[in-house]
Amino acid sequence: MLKKILIGLGVIVAIALIAAFFMPKEFGYEDSIQINATPAQVWQHTNSIKSMDTWSPWVAMDPDGEKTYEGEDGAVNSKGCWDSEVEKVGKGCQWITDFEENKHMGTEMLFEKPNEGAGKAYIDLEESEGGTNLTWGFTGEMPWPMNLMVPMINGGMEEQMGTEWRSGLTSLKELAEASAKADIERAEQEAAAMEETVDEGEEMPTE
């Protein structure tokens, strides 16, 4: 009986290992939000590691955590690293790999704690009626045969990441819309000042 059980378990393991060859290795999560600002206005808040830190939900979890930056801000290979005692924040680095102005920002990440790992993140901006549709996401890979867990990981992403993701997107929306509103107000003030200057010039007596 024991021999039959062991053989059965061996067959199950073998089938699982074979199945893993045909299963995806990539897992990920993304969420989108509509922002009432132009892509260029939103881009100001997504075009560098520093600018992304202003709305990052993990920076908000530990605003006093250690942060360091390397390279030209917003350029490819510019890097931001963090170190925090807050478990959800942990320690790691993120650097820019590619970008298309006002449209896309790609980064890679290396985590040291609480668990070692690596991944990629992206921000895509698309002009839409009334503003910008922004998508923020990340991807990672599980090696064979651990990729058997990918369906389970993808299935739990909403519960695991959804709250932080939505918090970050909401903060970004508030920042971008506030700066867009300030741009409009500044333009109106400048136009009014120019009009007033013109009116004063027209009223000046001529000799």
Q: What's the token pair of residue 52?
A: 């992304």
Residue 79: other Cβ atoms inside 10 A: 16
**Structural domain contains residue 135:** yes
Q: Is residue 5 part of a domain?
A: no
pTM, entire model: 0.76
CATH code, 153: 3.30.530.20
- Tell me, yes or no, whether 73 lies in a domain: yes
In 3D, which of 187, 150, 186, 168 has the Cα closest to residue 20? 150
The answer as to whether 175 is a domain residue is yes
Query: For the segment 33-77, what is each residue's pLDDT rounded down to a tens digit?
Result: 999 999 999 999 999 999 999 999 999 999 999 999 999 999 999
Domain assignment present for residue 6? The answer is: no
Interatomic CA distance for residues 16 and 27, integer angstroms: 19
Query: What domain range is 88 assigned to?
Result: 24-188
Domain count, the chain: 1
Query: Which amino acid makes up residue 103?
Result: K
In a domain, 11, yes or no: no
Inside any domain, residue 7: no
The model's confidence at residue 192, banded by pLDDT at 50, 70 and 90, is confident
State the sign of the Cα–Cα–Cα–Cα dihedral 79, 80, 83, 86.
negative
Residue 121 inside a domain? The answer is: yes
